[in-house]
Amino acid sequence: MSAQATCRDTAFSGLPACELTLPQGDRLQVALHGAHVLSWVSGGQERLYLSPQSILDGQAAIRGGVPVCFPQFNQRGPMAERLPKHGFARNVLWLADAPELGAEHARLTLRLSDNAQTRVWWPQAFALALHIDLSPGALQLTLAVHNTGTQALAFSGALHTYLAVPDVTQATLQGLGGQPEWDSLTDTHAPAADTIRFAAEFDRVYEAGPQPMTLNETLHISQSPSWANTVVWNPAQDLCKRLADMPDDGWRHMLCVEAAQVYAPIALPAGGRWAGWQRLSLYA
Q: What is the Cα 256 distance to its own chain's centre?
A: 9
Find residue 257's DSSP bridge partners.
Answer: 232
Question: Measured between alpha carbons, how far is 230 from 55 in angstroms, rounded to an integer?
Answer: 26
| 35 CB burial (10 A radius; 0-12, 13-18, 19+) | buried
Antiparallel, parallel or unpaired: β 202-207 and 180-183:
antiparallel
Establish whether 201 is a catalytic residue: no
33, 131, 146, 160: which is the annotated catalytic residue? Answer: 160
Establish whether 36 is a catalytic residue: no
**DSSP string covering 19-30:** EEE-TTS-EEEE
Q: Residue 58's closest CA among 11, 104, 15, 119?
A: 15
Q: What does the angle CA 103 – CA 108 – CA 113 come to, to the nearest 5 degrees?
A: 165
Q: Residue 141's closest CA among 230, 50, 49, 30?
A: 30
Bond before 71 cis per omega within 30 degrees: yes
For the CA atoms of 173, 51, 204, 158, what is the dihedral angle to 10 degrees? Answer: 100
Q: Are 198 and 237 in contact (CB under 8 A)?
A: no
86, 181, 220, 258: which is the annotated catalytic residue? Answer: 258
Q: Catalytic residues, which ones?
A: 160, 258
